[in-house]
Copies of this chain bind each other. A is one copy, B any other.
Amino acid sequence: MNLDPRTFAISDRIKNIKKIYAVTGFKGGVGKSTAACLLALALSAKGVKTGLLDLDFSGSSCHVILGVTPGMKSLFPSEIQGLTPPEVAGIKFMSLAYFTQNRAAHLRGEDVTNSIIELLAVTNWGNLDALILDMPPGISDAALDIMRLMPKAEMIAVVTSSILSQNLAVKALEFCKNSGVKTLGIIHNFTRGGCETGEIFAEFKCLAKLPYDKNFEASIGDIEALKRTDVYAAVQPAFENLL
């Protein structure tokens, strides 16, 4: 026998989380981390008990967007029945970045799976209304593992107007559907006007349209500044369909 005990604990660890949203988009650079962080900030600001888990190990961005320095001497989970994530603006925030000392995470798929299982088995989220997952691009180990280990997670797909983004998202959402995974809806990023997703996403709800905001970059790392951006304001309509 060679039995991995960790997966037996996962359903218990997430049993007091009401909703889990996987912010994906399949393509890189479409604004997944941006949307995930702003959604989490907005939920938390409304008093919703919110968690944020950065699962893009080789592209961890959430700590940079939120302006925190993960590490034992700065911000670190506490050892209470596993690892309890520290709070950032009221958000319980978990990331592999706590443990990487700011090094590049060169992980093969098997490592990604092992790290996800470890994080899910030891993280003590407590009661949450919503847990936001910031997903890596692609349908790789991370996406497949979340589908099997957190079957109640719903997808929020971030897409842009680019044919490159939309092509991939359509195929990937088809894959999710065939796998029995629910897609809550689409967030359209970098818009310059009306809802440009068009026909191709007709079967999905448009949760929010985020304008391209040339001042956004300067707000990265400063939560108060982020909350004053047009992008943050544009995230709000998404709530109607959350929770």
Contact = CB atoms under 8 A, between A and B. Distances in A.
Given A28-B59, A59-B137, 14 more contacts: A27-B28, A27-B29, A58-B139, A59-B138, A61-B164, A64-B164, A64-B167, A104-B139, A104-B168, A104-B171, A107-B140, A108-B113, A109-B109, A140-B140
A241 to B, nearest CB: 24
Interface in A153-199: 161-164, 167-168, 171-172, 174-175
A137 B64 contact: no
Nearest to A32: B28
Interface string A21-65: 000001111100100000000000000000000000011010011
Interface residues on A, range: 35 or more
Contacts of A109: 108-110, 112, 140-141
B140 A58 contact: yes
Contact of A30 (B29, B33, B102, B161): B29
A144 interface: yes
A209 B87 CA distance: 40
4 cross-chain pairs, A with B, having the tightest CB-CB distances, nearest first: A28-B28, A29-B29, A109-B109, A58-B138
A217 interface: yes
Given A140-B108, A217-B162, A171 B28 contact: no
A161 B218 CA distance: 11
B171 A103 contact: yes
